[in-house]
Amino acid sequence: MEMPNCINLSVGEPDFSPPEYALEAGFRAASQGSTHYSATNGVAELRDALSDKTYKDYGLRYDPSSEILVTVGGTEAILAALLAWLNPGDEALIPNPGFVVYEPSVLLAEGTPVRVPLLETNSFWPRPRDVTSLITEKSRVIVLNYPNNPTGAVLPYEEITALAKIAVERDLIVISDEVYEKIVYDGSRHYCLATFPGMRERTLVVNSFSKTYAMTGLRVGYVCGPKELLSPLWLVHQYMVACVDTLSQHIALAALNGPQDFVRDMVREFDRRRRLVIERLNEIAGFRCSLPKGAFYAFPNIEGFGMPSDKFAEFLAREAEVLTVPGSAFGSGGENHIRLSYAASYQKLEEALERMEKALRKLT
Ligand SMILES: Cc1ncc(COP(=O)(O)O)c(C=O)c1O
């Protein structure tokens, strides 16, 4: 169906362009011949800069030659980690609702996905008792993702402490997807999982330039972890992609080394949009949405409309020409919700909410 007037709030990518200084560094690298394969684990200067970054941000020092792997976005890092560490039949605990890549990646690795509920009534944090009750002798990996897609939740210190304790006691490998680490609001703080007691040695921290520097199409991510955990990913990566696009790595390097005002300004603008979206959603009878603390998604409850989330999203697409994602796309735990990305312009968001309100009046 052609929908030329449609406003798309379904995509998870910033509407910003990467910082100009980073793109210029890419052009320069191209003209200086950086068009060859890089080292399999990434351009050396980029790994050095990432080692400094994790130290500066979290006091974590990763050895650039053996503990950092530059990947094709966070997406490749997640798949490589699961392919490397799951044997057929091993169980991987993944969030429900959760980022759409986790379940298929576990299945590709011939593992068994075990869904950990993230309840709205518990601020979309996993409850330690639920996690414990789902662990069996086959459990190998737990995937955590904060700031969270699709809920926008951020995990507080005490909650992480409890989960870290379980991971240590039950000897789980933790894949901590922290691609939204810089996108937090209201003075909330993001804690890197690997900084908690006993966690550095069992955690693969997945990260990416996609969201922080609006570089989704350039495909640069990375994963940090102790050598013993990381080296099997390196092999998967080598035979899957050989290396990440060398020019994109130079752009990423310049983005990391340049002034960080870009990130601060982008997050400030997301914050403005976040307030608009949540306020307007709560003005429409039927929605219930608390203010998310991170990422750039609103995940309102839609029970008030008495419709399954796929039908509701279809209704909004047809009647309001606004595209959203049904919560069920993120797992059964996402039912009764839709996800709206506010990484679209303020003006588009205003218009989209206007249209939604008008269309939803037909239901009452
Ligand atoms: C939670 C989460 N992890 C990882 C990714 C992967 O992004 P990329 O492969 O562009 O780094 C995304 C993208 O939407 C995401 O939402």
Ligand 1 center to residue 199 CA distance, Å?
22
Contacts of 310 by beta carbon, 8 Å cutoff, 6+ apart:
326, 328, 329
pLDDT score of 2: 67
**Residue 254 DSSP SS3:** helix
**12 C-beta closer than 6 A to ligand 1:** yes
pLDDT at 4: 79
Q: Which residues of the chain register pLDDT less than 50?
A: none
* CA angle, 200 then 201 then 202, to 5°: 95
pLDDT tens per residue, range 256-314: 999 999 999 999 999 999 999 999 999 999 999 999 999 999 999 999 999 999 999 99
Distance between CA atoms of residues 101 and 22, nearest Å: 28
Spacing, Cα 146 to ligand 1 middle (Å): 12
144 in Cβ contact with 177 (< 8 Å): yes
CA distance 132 to 115: 12
Cα–Cα distance for residue pair 165/348, rounded to 1 Å: 44
Work out which ligand 1 atom sits closest to the CA atom of 99: 1
d(CA 130, CA 118): 9
Among protein residues, the one with the nearest Cα to ligand 1's atom 13 is 12
Q: Which atom of ligand 1 is nearest to the CA of 177?
A: 3
Q: Are 341 and 297 in contact (CB under 8 A)?
A: yes
Query: Ligand 1 pocket, 210 CB below 6 A?
Result: yes
Which one of 10, 13, 76, 99 would you pick to mutate in the ligand 1 pocket, going by the greatest count of ligand atoms within 8 A of its CB? 99
**Amino acid at site 9:** L
> Does the beta carbon of 93 lie inside 6 Å of ligand 1?
no
Pairing of strands 322-323, 7-8: parallel
Strands 112-117, 322-323: parallel, antiparallel or unpaired by DSSP? Answer: unpaired
Q: 144 by DSSP, 3-state: which?
A: strand
CB distance 99 to ligand 1 below 6 Å: yes
CA 278 → CA 52, 64, 291, distances in Å? Answer: 37, 41, 6
216 lines ligand 1 (CB under 6 A): yes
Distance (Å) from CA 361 to ligand 1 centroid = 35
CA of 105 to the centre of ligand 1 (A): 13
147 lines ligand 1 (CB under 6 A): no
Helix H or strand E encompassing 112:
strand 112-117
- Which atom of ligand 1 is found nearest the CA of 12? 14
Calpha distance 28→10 (Å, rounded): 35
pLDDT score, position 26: 96
User: Tell me, what's the pLDDT at 3?
Assistant: 76
CB of 73 within 6 A of ligand 1: the answer is yes
Per-residue pLDDT at 1 = 62
CA of residue 183 to ligand 1 center, whole Å: 13
Residue pLDDT, tens place only, 76-106:
999 999 999 999 999 999 999 999 999 999 9
Residue 293 DSSP SS3: coil
User: Which of 176, 262, 259, 261 lies closest to 215, judged by CA?
Assistant: 262
CA distance 252 to 192: 21
CA–centroid distance, 74 to ligand 1, in Å, is: 5
Alpha-carbon span 103 to 94, nearest angstrom? 7
Integer Rg of the chain from CA: 20
Tell how far the Cα of 248 is from the centroid of ligand 1, in angstroms: 17
**φ/ψ bin of 277: left (φ > 0), alpha (ψ from -120 to 50), beta (otherwise):** alpha
